[in-house]
A and B are shown apart, each in its own frame.
Chain A
C-alpha cells in the first residue's frame, strides 16, 4: 500500500515537472527581435499579488558609452545614468497594474576596434513570467543607436 502511494506521488511529481517545463521560463520580444530593432512596445503580465517585480537593464558592450532614462508613469527611476541599470525592485505586482514603463537609451560606439553592435537587454522578473527583451543594432564606426522602449504592465 505504502509502495503504491510512493509510486503515485512520484508520478504526480513527474507530471508537475512536465507541466512546468511546458511553460517557457523566458518570453522574448519576437516582434522586436525580428525587426533587429531599437524600438520596443510590449506588455508585461502581472497578477494581484504583493510580490515585488524587479527590473534590470543592460546597455552597451565593451568600448561603448551609454546614457539612460527610465520612468514608471511619471516617477523617474533613472535620470541620465551612464551605466547599466542594476536589478531593482520597482513595485509589487498589484501596484504595477496598468502602469507604463518607459526606457530611453543612447549608446555610442567610442572604440572602433571593438564591436560595432550595440545592444540593450531589459530583464523583468517577479510577474506572471520572468521575461528578457533583447534589442540590438549595428552602427558604423563611432555611430550611435537610440533605443525607445515602452512596456505596459497588464
Chain B
C-alpha cells in the first residue's frame, strides 16, 4: 500500500526548488492542528528560518546587537525565540532532571517579533510598524519509549561512543598541553603557596578554608579558570564536531503518552510608525493535546482562537472592514513511526467565524509524506478546504508536491 502511494506520488510530482531547511519545518506547513512554535513570529508572518534562537547569553547579545546596528536603531525585521529559564539560569545541577515542574520551565519559550514593512511587503500595511509577543509551553510532553530507544539506536550508540572515545583521547593530550603552559603553572604555584605557612608547611584545615574565602584567593582562582578556558579554546580542535553531530542526528525517537501544549500571542500595529498611536493587529491562543501510542498511531485535538480586528470580510455580495474572530476546534489522527520514512494523517477542523457571511464551516484534509533522502520529501495533501473562495465545490486536491533542497542541511 505504501509503495503504491509512493509510485503514484512520483508519477504526479513536480519540482519546487529552493533552500530547504529541515524536514520538521517542511512538515509544519501541513500541521494545521498544531500550536505554533513561535506565536509572535507566526502572527506577523515571519518564516521559521528567519527566527533567531540564541542558546546562551552571548548568542542573545550578538543577535540583539546585530539586529539593532550596535544598539543605535530599531531593527527592520527581527524575530527571536528565547527559553528564559535555560538562557539565564545558573542552575546546572541535579535539580534540572525532568519532572513536571522542571518540564514546564525547560519548555517555556517566549517569542518576540518586530516588523517594519518595506516596499516588498504584500500582506501588511507598509506605512505602519508591527510588534508581537507570544509564548509557548508544553504542559505535558509524553515520555520516550525506552525499549524502542535501546532497540533502534543500539548501532548509533556504538558509533557515537567510538567517536566520543577518539575525542577523549584528544582531550587527554589537550589537557597535558594546557597543564604545561608556563603562565598557568606559575599562577597555580602561587595559589598552592597560599595554603602554606611561612615555613612552607601546610596550614591547618580551618585556615585553608579561611584562605579560600579571601578576596586574594578568589581573584587568583578566577584568573586561573579564565586562563584554563582560554588555553582550551585556543588549543582545542573541532575536527570531530561535524561527525558527532551527524551521528547524533541519526537518533530517531518519538515521545509516547499524553501531551498538552499551550501557546498564545498578540501583536500591535503602530500607525504611521508612531509609537503613540497603536492598536491590536491580531491575537491568537492555541491549545493542543492528545495521546501518542506505541504503535505509531496518535490522536491530537486542538482548540484555537484567532482575532483579527479590521479585516476584510465578506458581507452580502461585497466586502467590508470588520473585526473577524475565528474559533477553531478539530482533531487529527496521525500514523508516524520513529524509524519509518512514511507518515500520514487525517485531520478535521470546524471553524466558527464572527463574520456572518462565513458562519460555521469545516475542513477535512488527508496528508501523507515519504522521506526519500535526508533533504528530500514527497508530500501529498488532499481534502476539502473551509475557505469558500478556494473550494466552492467542496472537494479539491489541495497540493501535491515533490520538495527538494540543495546545499547543506540547516545546522
Give A contacts to B, CB under 8 Å. Answer: 23, 27, 29-43, 45-47, 58, 61-63, 65-69, 80, 82, 97, 102, 104, 106, 108-111, 113-117, 119-121, 128-129, 132, 134-144, 146, 148, 150, 152, 154
Contact = CB atoms under 8 A, between A and B. Distances in A.
B164 A115 contact: no
Contacts of A128: 205, 208-209
A112 to B, nearest CB: 8
Interface in B102-119: 106
Contact of B96 (A82, A115, A141): A115
A43 B90 CA distance: 21
B164 A108 contact: yes
A67 B167 contact: yes
B357 interface: no
A142 B248 contact: yes
Nearest to B156: A110
B147 interface: no
Which residue, A45, A46, A61, has most C-beta atoms of chain B within 10 A?
A: A45
Contact of B195 (A23, A36, A154): A154
Contact of A152 (B93, B192, B218): B192
Contacts of A129: 209
Nearest to A129: B209
Contacts of B62: none
A71 to B, nearest CB: 8
B55 interface: yes
Contact of B221 (A31, A58, A80, A136): A31
B273 interface: no
A148 B171 contact: yes
A65 B161 contact: yes
Interface string B366-388: 00000000000000000000000
Interface stretch (B226-234, B303-311, B325-333): B226-234
Nearest to A23: B209
Interface of B: 55-57, 86-87, 90, 92-94, 96-98, 106, 141, 144, 153, 156-157, 160-161, 164-165, 167-168, 171-172, 174-175, 178-179, 188, 191-192, 195, 202, 204-205, 208-209, 212, 218, 221-222, 224-226, 228-229, 232, 236, 241, 244-245, 248-249, 251, 253, 255, 411
A61 B56 CA distance: 18
Contacts of B221: 30-31, 42-43
A119 B89 CA distance: 12
Contact of B229 (A27, A37, A113, A143): A37
A38 to B, nearest CB: 8
A62 to B, nearest CB: 5
Q: Which of B164, B205, B232 has the most A CB atoms < 10 Å from its CB?
A: B164
Contacts of B253: 111
B202 A119 contact: no
Contacts of B225: 29, 31-32, 35, 37, 39-42
5 contacts: A36-B90, A42-B221, A65-B157, A110-B248, A148-B175
A140 B212 contact: no
B208 A115 contact: no
B102 to A, nearest CB: 9
Nearest to A93: B205
User: What 10 pairs between A and B have smallest CB-CB spacing?
Assistant: A136-B92, A67-B164, A142-B248, A31-B225, A31-B222, A128-B205, A41-B228, A39-B229, A138-B55, A119-B92
A45 B236 CA distance: 30
B205 A45 contact: yes
B90 A33 contact: yes
B248 A134 contact: no
Given A43-B195, A67-B167, A62 B98 contact: yes
Contact of A115 (B106, B157, B229, B241): B106
Contacts of A114: 98
Given A67-B167, A150-B179, 20 more contacts: A35-B225, A36-B56, A39-B225, A41-B188, A41-B228, A42-B225, A46-B205, A47-B205, A62-B144, A65-B157, A67-B165, A67-B168, A109-B248, A111-B253, A113-B141, A116-B86, A117-B96, A117-B106, A138-B86, A144-B241
A20 B324 CA distance: 67
A117 B92 contact: yes
A121 B94 contact: yes
A26 to B, nearest CB: 10
A148 B178 contact: yes
Nearest to A34: B222
A31 B227 CA distance: 12
Contacts of A23: 209
Contact of B175 (A65, A102, A106, A108): A102
